[in-house]
Amino acid sequence: MKNPKLLLLLSAVLSLAAVRLAAAHPAEEPQTQGPASAARSVTVRVQECSTDGPTIAREIYGQFSEHLGTCIYGGLWVGEDSDIPNEEGYRTDVLEALRALRVPVLRWPGGCFADEYHWRDGIGPRSERPRMVNSNWGGTVEDNSFGTHEFLNLCEKLGCEPYISGNVGSGTVEELAKWVEYMTAESGPMAELRKRNGREKPWKVRYLGIGNESWGCGGSMRPEYYADLYRRYANFCREFDGNRLYRIASGASDYDYNWTEVLMKSIGSRMQGISLHYYTIKGWQGSKGSATCFSADEYYETLGKALEIEQVIRRHTAVMDGIDPARRIGLLVDEWGTWFDEEPGTVRGHLYQQNTLRDAMVAALTFNVFHRHADRIRMANIAQVANVLQAMVLTRGAEMVLTPTYHAFYLYRPHQGAQFVPTACDAAERQVTPQRRIPEVSATASRDAEGRLHLSLVNPGLEREQRVTVAFERLKPSKVSGMILTAPRIDACNDFGRADEVRTKAFRGAKITAAGIELTLPAKSILTLEIE
Ligand code: AHR
């Protein structure tokens, strides 16, 4: 074929056809952009000369585990008597996978479940623990075999901080106060009870959530009422024997800036953190769309919705700045991630969804946003760690798969606890809905304690590779290596009983030049470079 325009057109059509489209609505290129498959040139400037950036809290890479579907039972916990290989009841494969991610913090027991959870039901001999109906999540009967000891011991095994979400909606002040005492006191009646249940030394529990979604499943409260309740609950949750509490108020959902304002005014420095929940969801009513079967348009719309979190964070931060300009109170995005329709054939209310390269894109682009706001965002917990929503791992019996999102977390591990380094990227933007645009390349950088620079680059485009020049203000790179996550199709996923379609690979395409570093970033890829 001699006509180059025709060739470009054909290659664009072929690459789009490679995406398994649910509906025949291939994304239309905005008119300002060139032919679909033409590579673009982008410069990413690493601005290491700017004033020192904030630390990217390790806890931004936090996880969330709720008594919901098979997150706990089957996903994390199978019990000591299970045929599934386990370490004191915890799945060995999942433990290993999560250890490799260096999970910094794990939130539990909910979610909505937290405000119906009574901790005393989950201690003592398992055979004697009362049962309850998990009314939020499919009416499943909860046998309480995974309780306080099982959770806190899991955190010890993972080497992560526990984040306890307390029951404000249907529990009492005394109940929560005693729970804190049970977990953290060296001596006294609650410590004696804990010791009788087999745990001599108290655990350290720093993060304490005072309720969850108190405007909704946590009690349908008005912010003024919740703020007063918060003050009561927080007041009686004491600090025992050197255990310092970081008390977290149940914060807003999405665009509810009034909730944040009322809490900031009424609670202020009585809280160390306030939460925010933001899901990448099409809408709360009706179909949320399939996790695996989507059009190119739907893909870009999903990314647009995911990236809108930045505007939401900015506005909550502005409200917080009005009362706390020094940014002492943290904004904790303790629930975030994609929310699609449950997989056909799975239990309703268990929120089991597959996970594709699209989900990994959402994760990486969201991390880039969190990094940019690291001076206010002190924690984030993706929903959820196993078998629920945008999970790290999926399990079926003895099988386990690592999801594309897991690999995105893995690629971003070097940014945990590192110092944020500003970057400027001149990439064009794609209009994905009348209100939302996404960048053609998104970048983030940080410097770790050993002085190594890590640069993560995301090319969300389905068709077009990007020729990237990385320019440095100070550094003269002498060594570069990288790891990349991509797949032939954006809906590629890892599933049981077959080879993984989505996994990380070494990236050898970065070249050191006089300009800095040059590379070609493939379409739909996430890359992390280590630069010395
Ligand atoms: O993560 C699933 C649910 O989403 C949580 O239980 C709740 O807090 C939120 O609405």
Is the same domain home to 176 and 321? yes
Instruction: Kindly give the distance from the C-alpha atom of residue 68 to the centroid of ligand 1, in angstroms, as a whole number.
Output: 9
Residues 317 and 188 in one domain: yes
Mean per-residue pLDDT, 103-129:
98
321/260 Cα distance (integer angstroms): 11
Q: Does residue 361 sit in the same domain as residue 494?
A: no
Q: 342, 360, 376 — which closes off a domain? A: 376
* Residues 218 and 290 grouped into a single domain: yes
Residue 27 inside a domain? The answer is no
Over the stretch 424-442, which tens digit does the pLDDT of each residue have?
Answer: 999 999 999 999 999 999 9
Active-site residue among 48, 213, 298, 342? 213
pLDDT tens string 180-234:
999 999 999 999 999 999 999 999 999 999 999 999 999 999 999 999 999 999 9
Q: 409 alpha carbon to ligand 1 midpoint, in Å?
A: 21
Query: Higher confidence at residue 280 or residue 2?
Result: 280
Identify whether residues 199 and 315 lie together within a single domain: yes
- Is 194 in the same domain as 119? yes
Q: Is residue 98 part of a domain?
A: no
Please tell me the distance between residue 215's alpha carbon and the centre of ligand 1 in angstroms: 12
Torsion angle of alpha carbons 235, 236, 240, 246, nearest 10°? -40
Has 88 been annotated as catalytic? no
Residue whose CA lies nearest to ligand 1 atom number 6: 111
Looking at the fold, whether 137 and 283 belong to one and the same domain comes out as: yes
Q: Is residue 384 part of a domain?
A: no
> Is position 295 within any domain?
yes
pLDDT of residue 30: 29
Residue 89 lies in a domain: no
Average pLDDT, the chain: 93
Q: What percent of the chain has pLDDT over 70?
A: 93
Query: Would residue 100 count as lying in a domain?
Result: no
Any domain includes 37? yes
Nearest CA to ligand 1 atom 2: 111
- For residue 52, name the pLDDT band (cuts at 50, 70, 90): confident
Binned at pLDDT 50, 70 and 90, residue 37 comes out as low
Give the pairing type, strands 442-447 and 419-421: antiparallel
Q: Are strands 399-402 and 273-280 parallel, antiparallel or unpaired?
A: unpaired
> Among the atoms of ligand 1, which is closest to the Cα of residue 113?
6
Domain-ending residue, one of 354, 376, 398: 376
Please choose from 70, 107, 140, 217 the residue to mutate so as to test ligand 1's pocket, defined by most ligand atoms within 8 A of CB: 217
Q: Which of 67, 112, 220, 385 to mutate to test the pocket of ligand 1 (most atoms within 8 A of CB)?
A: 112
pLDDT value at residue 50: 62
* Whether residue 212 has its Cβ less than 6 Å from ligand 1: yes
CATH code for position 207: 3.20.20.80
What is the tens place of the pLDDT at every residue in 464-494? Answer: 999 999 999 989 999 999 999 999 999 999 9
Is 473 found in the same domain as 361? no
HSE-CB of 120 using CA atoms within 13 angstroms: 10
User: Does 335 qualify as catalytic in the annotation?
Assistant: yes
In this structure, the dihedral spanned by the alpha carbons of residues 171, 178, 59 and 355, taken in order and rounded to 10 degrees, is: -40
- Residue 482 resides in a domain: yes
State the average pLDDT over residues 28-40.
48
Q: Tell me what pLDDT residue 51 has.
A: 65
Kindly report, residue by residue over 360-414, the tens digit of the pLDDT. Answer: 999 999 999 999 999 999 999 999 999 999 999 999 999 999 999 999 999 999 9
Same domain, 363 and 474: no
State whether the beta carbon of 383 lies less than 6 angstroms from ligand 1: yes
Domain boundary among 311, 346, 376: 376
Q: Number of folded domains in the chain?
A: 2
Same domain, 246 and 371: yes
Binning pLDDT at 50, 70 and 90, where does residue 48 land?
Answer: confident
Same domain, 370 and 464: no
Whether 172 and 269 share a structural domain? yes
Question: According to the model, what pLDDT value does residue 25 have?
Answer: 30
Encoded amino acid at 279, one letter: Y
CATH number for the domain including 472? 2.60.40.1180
Active-site residue among 142, 308, 335, 342? 335
User: What range defines the domain where residue 347 resides?
Assistant: 106-146+161-376
